[in-house]
Structure 1
């Protein structure tokens, strides 16, 4: 199972489902890092300090950060999917497929229907 740090835009219902699947998920809000919007660089730095992979729907900025420096514990860039169960399952499958996560940029996209 993975240790995640979910940024402030990441959907809390998906966080709860990932926890039910056995993942350790800490949100920016729970870490009290979301008072006035934390810069993406600080989100990544905190995740690295805690040895956690990032969960985000902010694909553009986190892809840029990964390209700048891949010394992190994984970044999951996701497309928003309102089918929360499917969203959590796709992340869970990506963890199983991609472990170890260190230094990886993992794209989790909603299926085309």
Structure 2
């Protein structure tokens, strides 16, 4: 199963539901990167070193990074949905 890394703005209830569904999810809070003014490039680079796909609601910035030659394991750029269970199921 895919290993995931949830960006700082990604809803914790979605992370919890993904874990319930069996996904291996780590968050920026758990790695100590939250609230540290870590750049998007650094977040994606960290996800790469951990061999994780990045989960984010920050579509605009990460789509731009994806369009560069930046090597990574993937980016799942989601649109906010207050139905956290449904969002997790779509992922």
TM-score (norm 1): 0.77
The residue that corresponds to 2:3 in the other structure is 3
Deviation sequence 1:23-80 (CA, Å, 0-9, x none) = 0000001001124231100000000000000000000000000001252111000000
The residue that corresponds to 2:44 in the other structure is 44
Count, aligned residues: 91
The residue that corresponds to 1:102 in the other structure is none
**Which structure carries more relative contact order (alpha carbon 8 Å, separation 6+)?**
2
Distance in 2 (CA, whole Å) between partners of 1:37 and 1:16 is 24
The residue that corresponds to 1:99 in the other structure is none
TM-score (norm 2): 0.95
What root-mean-square deviation, in Å, do the aligned CA atoms of Structure 1 and Structure 2 show? 0.9
The residue that corresponds to 2:14 in the other structure is 14
Show structure 2 runs of 5+ residues with no match. none
Ranges of 4+ aligned residues in structure 1 off by more than 6 Å: none
The residue that corresponds to 1:98 in the other structure is none
Distance in 2 (CA, whole Å) between partners of 1:84 and 1:23 is 15
The residue that corresponds to 1:54 in the other structure is 54
Show structure 1 runs of 5+ residues with no match. 92-113
